[in-house]
Amino acid sequence: MAGSLETGSGAQTAPSRIVPPVLFKTLLTALVGGATYLLTDATDQPEVWKLTSSIFLGGAALIIQYMTDFERRLTSVEHTIAAHNAEMKELVANGFARINEATELFGLVDRSALPPDGVSRLIRSASKVGTGSPAIMQAFARAEVSRLAGLMENLNAKLVDYEGEDHDWIVTLTGCASSTIDATSTAVDRDFWPSELGQRYLRAQRDAIDAHGVRIRRLFIIEKPEDNTIDLGQLCDDQQSLGIEVKVLALSDLSPIARMDETNDFIVFDESLSYEIGSDLRGVNTKTLMDLRPDRVAKRVQRFKTLWEAGR
Residue 234 has pLDDT above 80, yes or no: yes
- Max mean pLDDT among 95-99, 113-117, 162-166, 193-197 falls in 193-197
pLDDT in tens, 166-222: 778 999 999 999 999 999 988 777 788 888 989 999 999 999 999 999 999 999 988
- Residue 178 backbone dihedrals phi, psi, to 5 degrees: -120, -15
From residue 120, alpha-carbon distances to 59, 95, 123 in Å are 72, 21, 5
User: Of the candidates 270, 264, 278, 274, which has an alpha carbon nearest to the alpha carbon of residue 307?
Assistant: 264
Q: Does position 160 have pLDDT exceeding 90, yes or no?
A: no
- pLDDT of 284 reads 64
CA distance 28 to 47: 22
> CATH: 3.40.50.2300, 1.10.150.20, 3.30.870.10, 3.30.40.230. Which one for 161-310?
3.30.870.10
- Give the strand order in the sheet containing 159-163: 159-163, 285-291, 273-279, 266-269, 180-185, 215-222, 245-250
Sequence spans of domains, the chain: 19-74, 161-310
Q: State pLDDT tens for residues 31-70.
A: 877 777 777 767 677 777 667 777 877 777 778 887 888 8
In whole angstroms, how far apart are CA 163 and each of 46, 94, 239, 284? 108, 40, 28, 12
